Structure 1
Amino acid sequence: MNKQLAIMALILGSGLSAAAHAQSSVQLYGTVDLGVEHFSNGAGSVNKLGNGILNPSVVGLKGQEDLGGGTSVFFQAETSFCANGAAPGASTANAQYCGPGFMGRTSIVGLKGSFGRFQMGRMFTLSNGDFYVIDPLHSDSLSPFGNTNVATIGEPVWYSQAIAYYSPSFKGFNAAAMYQFGDGIGIASTTGAYNLHLGYAQGPLFIGLDYENQKGPNNVTALKHTMLAAAYDFKMIRIGVYAARNRPDPSSGNPNLNAYALTASVPYGAATFIGEFAVQSDKTVSRPNTRMVNLGVLYALSKRTSLYAMYARATDYYDFVNEVDAFGNNDAPTAANGSGAASTGIALGVSMNF
């Protein structure tokens, strides 16, 4: 009898432990992405082992605790690393896509429930979140959005020292607001910023409208950024489009910029074929500043691992100094400015999630 009672107690204790564990969970996750790259821009060429080409190489922890009543508290802490051995956070071109250093990516804590989601910390901007939806390359170092100043035209990828609210979906409609305190986007003269989002996402259709306002000294508006993004999945092909306006303060001396992009992805068995085209324009010059074309194929070996092959070409008609290779990481030698100067890049690699 005592043995039976002991067995029953052990079973009951195991059940209670499992139930308690179900209410709280922590997950370790990450990505390792490496590939061989070749860049050429007319002034020279370079071959390298690239890190984070298709997806950033990261390690992170995320989890949540059930508070009852449909409400839970959650957290996420994520760090970049250079899988090719370069130093994280280094200013060299070889380490640019290694991220900002230890725990320098998403770092948030928040509450979620029927009321929506509230979070605070360091996070992607709302505008960058919409890039992720329409860009099949998820704004990485190969895409027009990830490339230096091609399509993002000054809209920051991250907000630090930020708070954000995301509404629940009302028949596909949603809204969000984000506020950044002080110098949370790495610009010394910035005293604060906010980012607003209205969107619709249901079935094959996505639409997002975003507005950002950055404040400079004396609370003067330093930058206004407006973006409209949309995507539709026809099953045989998924199309994404993007248009943005960047309006800096006249005293900054920076030009008013417009950006446009078209993306397409075609699934075919385990493969996905991708094509992207982006233009950044400045009304003060006769031709677009930058044009970028990207072609590629992803091949899924499994749900977690993919092979990829990419080709990118950037052509600059105005200021080529900051865009010296088609992948935006400045490894190729500097080419001449303007007059249709171009660079090309090729990458072959593997990306594995865990």
Structure 2
Amino acid sequence: MHKSLATSSKPLAAHVAFAFAALAAAGAPAAVHAQSSVTLYGIIDEGINYTSNVQTGPGQGHSQYNLSSGILSGSRWGLRGNEDLGGGIKAIFVLESGFDVNSGKMGQGSLLFGRQAYVGVSSPYGTVTLGRQYDPVVDYIHPLMPSAMFSGSIGAHPGDLDNLNNTNRVNNAVKYRTASYGGLTAEGMYSFGGVPGSMAGNQIYSLGAGYARGPLTVGVGYLNARNPNASFFGTAVGATAATNNFGSSPVINGYASAHSEEIISAGATYVIGAATLGGIYSNTKFKHLSGAVSPLNPAGVGGTASFNSAEVNLQYQLTPALSFGAAYNYTDGGDANHAKYQQGSLSADYIVSKRTDFYLIGVLQHASGTDSTGRAARASLNGLTPASGNQQATVRFAIRHKF
């Protein structure tokens, strides 16, 4: 009996196996159709700095040696991925976290994914993304900046007053980027302010376009931020609208009461053999300052504070492994404060492997006039403690590793 039952069960098992195989075959195209990938990536940038003049008290300054993280490239780790939805359409995402190598703490105001956090859809007609993102001015001008190419954040424009070094990201943002048409692309972005009863309250909008073909790369951009102390600068953990979120740089931290901030910028690079020539221009306006003395406006400045900043730069690839860079920037604060900043930078970078390089950067800044706080302008290299006087220099030697 048992033998008969065992014998009769073989055809049944064969039928069941065939049924599962048929179902698997039917599902195979869908499995291939929905291919996806996730990539873990990151950069560690760490080095030692010497700074000639760091303010330690009223009118007092001393030189300083210290370790610092993320100067030429922000130290970071991230995840990026995509899923093929068919027809050339993909679901995409990026989660990216900045950190300080020396302390292990999170960057960008202690936010977990402070550098970027977005999800979206890409297609042959363009890409739509939603979340915390770079604005179009940063997307098109920042890659052309010496601070992105060779001088690092310490070589950015004073106080990063035009955000071309990407100090501030944009929350609650929807962004559309076109496909490339003969090297031409464009972007538009809108950030919801989230203020009940006011569509314009705390909103940010930005437009940008770029052209890259052959030796020429060009970018232009515009950004408008309402109540920038809260919407643009105030995204750190613990920040409030009542606190001054403009940072420690006296170049701009006296203008936190501005009703709005406008940035217009353009840049270009042109490659000639081993040399890359570049130029950047920006106009930044902090508009409708309150005029009342407060933590947001210590000098009681009213009206509009406007800065014009122009920069020229040269990068030269001496060998496949060794490159040099030089840049000069002039920033004029105009009638609001008569502040002027002149800044020069030099650099060298040596690639020792596919993922590791060593670099040397030197930056010197000289200030004159009156700064945003109503006092004699002090030199203030971006990201460093301001000087006690009108001149500050720094030299950095570092290692950068990408994974």
Q: TM-score range by the shorter chain?
A: 0.7 to 0.9
Kindly provide the CA deviation profile for residues 111-151 of structure 1, in whole angstroms up to 9, marking residues without a partner as x. 11111011011111111122332124417423224x52355
Name the residue aligned to 2:116: 106
| Alignment TM-score, normalising by the size of structure 2 | 0.72
Contact 1:197/1:210 (8 A) holds in 2: yes
Instruction: Give the direction of change, closer, same or farther, for the CA distance of 1:66–1:263 in structure 2 (3 Å limit).
Output: same
- In the aligned structure 1, how far is the partner of 2:265 from the partner of 2:113? 29
Report SS of the residue matched to 1:142: helix
- In the aligned structure 2, how far is the partner of 1:32 from the partner of 1:155? 18
- In the aligned structure 1, how far is the partner of 2:166 from the partner of 2:74? 19
Name the residue aligned to 1:225: 263
- In the aligned structure 1, how far is the partner of 2:148 from the partner of 2:401? 15
| Pairing 1:132–2:150 present | no
Alignment of 1:199-214 (within 5 A): 199-214=210-225
| Pairing 1:169–2:180 present | yes
Instruction: Give the direction of change, closer, same or farther, for the CA distance of 1:221–1:208 in structure 2 (3 Å limit).
Output: farther
Identity of aligned residues (%): 26
| Pairing 1:344–2:386 present | no
- In the aligned structure 2, how far is the partner of 1:205 from the partner of 1:193? 30
| Pairing 1:180–2:191 present | yes
- In the aligned structure 2, how far is the partner of 1:156 from the partner of 1:49? 20
| Pairing 1:302–2:340 present | no
Report SS of the residue matched to 2:127: strand
Name the residue aligned to 1:94: none
Contact 1:164/1:176 (8 A) holds in 2: yes
- In the aligned structure 2, how far is the partner of 1:21 from the partner of 1:28? 23
The one-letter code of the counterpart of 1:192 is Q
- In the aligned structure 2, how far is the partner of 1:257 from the partner of 1:203? 33
Name the residue aligned to 1:263: 313
- In the aligned structure 2, how far is the partner of 1:237 from the partner of 1:210? 25
- Which has the higher Rg, Structure 1 or Structure 2? 2
Name the residue aligned to 2:383: 329
CA drift at 1:319: 4.8
Contact 1:75/1:108 (8 A) holds in 2: yes
| Pairing 1:51–2:100 present | no
Q: Give the length in aligned residue pairs.
A: 322
- In the aligned structure 2, how far is the partner of 1:320 from the partner of 1:295? 26
Report SS of the residue matched to 1:244: strand
The one-letter code of the counterpart of 1:49 is L
* RMSD of Structure 2 on Structure 1 (CA): 3.2
| Alignment TM-score, normalising by the size of structure 1 | 0.81
Runs of 4+ in 1 over 4 A off after TM superposition: 19-22, 153-156, 285-288, 319-327
Unaligned regions of 5+ residues in structure 1, if any?
90-97
| Pairing 1:23–2:45 present | no
Name the residue aligned to 1:66: 84
- In the aligned structure 2, how far is the partner of 1:122 from the partner of 1:58? 16
Contact 1:73/1:112 (8 A) holds in 2: yes
- In the aligned structure 2, how far is the partner of 1:101 from the partner of 1:72? 28
The one-letter code of the counterpart of 1:225 is I
Contact 2:264/2:282 (8 A) holds in 1: yes
The one-letter code of the counterpart of 2:282 is A
Kindly provide the CA deviation profile for residues 52-98 of structure 1, in whole angstroms up to 9, marking residues without a partner as x. 12111111000000001011010000111111125335xxxxxxxx6
CA drift at 1:39: 0.6
The one-letter code of the counterpart of 1:262 is V
The one-letter code of the counterpart of 1:54 is L
Contact 1:76/1:108 (8 A) holds in 2: yes
| Pairing 1:88–2:106 present | yes
CA drift at 1:48: 0.6
The one-letter code of the counterpart of 2:180 is S
CA drift at 1:215: 2.6
Instruction: Give the direction of change, closer, same or farther, for the CA distance of 1:307–1:282 in structure 2 (3 Å limit).
Output: same
Unaligned regions of 5+ residues in structure 2, if any?
1-16, 55-60, 229-257, 291-301
CA drift at 1:153: 8.2
